[in-house]
Homo-oligomer: A and B are copies of this chain.
Amino acid sequence: MESVFEIIAEPNRRAILSLLASSEQSVGDIERELRMPQPTVSKHLRVLREGGFVESTVDAQRRLYRLKPEPLRELDEWLAQFRRFWSAHVDALERHLDRMDLDRTNVNRIERQSHRTSTKRKSDKRTRPKPRK
C-alpha cells in the first residue's frame, strides 16, 4: 500500500479526497456525507494519512482532516511525461513542461536502442524471423 497509485486506486478514498478538496472535515462529516460506516472511514483515513495525503488536528473528540497535496502533486509530475500526447495547443506553462519532456534523456536513447521508429519499420520487412537473442 505504499505507492501513491495504489492508494488512490480505491474509490472511497478518492471520494474522501474530493470531499476534503472543498474543505476540512471531521470523520463524522465524511461518514454522513459519503454514507459509509465509520470504521471504513477511519481505515481509509489511516491509509491516506500514512500516505501523506491528509493530516489531522484534534478538536475535542473530533479529528479534523484536511488535504496535504504533496502526493497528488507527485502524481501530477508522473503524468507530465504523457502530457505532450494530448496538449497540442498549449499555454506558456505547458509549453515549458513539454520542452522539459522532450529534452528528457531517455526519449532518444530508447528509440535508438529499440531499433527503429515505426515509420521506418513498415518498409523494413525482415526476410526471416529475427531470433530473440
Contacts and interface: CB of A to CB of B under 8 A. Distances in A.
Interface of A: 3, 5-6, 8-9, 11, 14, 17-19, 21-26, 28-29, 33, 57, 59-61, 64, 66-67, 69-70, 72-73, 75-76, 78-79, 81-83, 85-86, 91-93, 101, 104, 106-107, 110-111, 113-114, 117-118, 121-122, 125-126, 129, 132
- The binding surface of chain A is classed by DSSP as helix
Contact of A93 (B9, B69, B91): B91
Nearest to A70: B86
A85 B72 contact: yes
Contacts of A104: 22
Given A24-B117, A79-B79, 9 more contacts: A3-B9, A22-B104, A26-B114, A28-B132, A64-B121, A67-B85, A69-B82, A69-B85, A72-B82
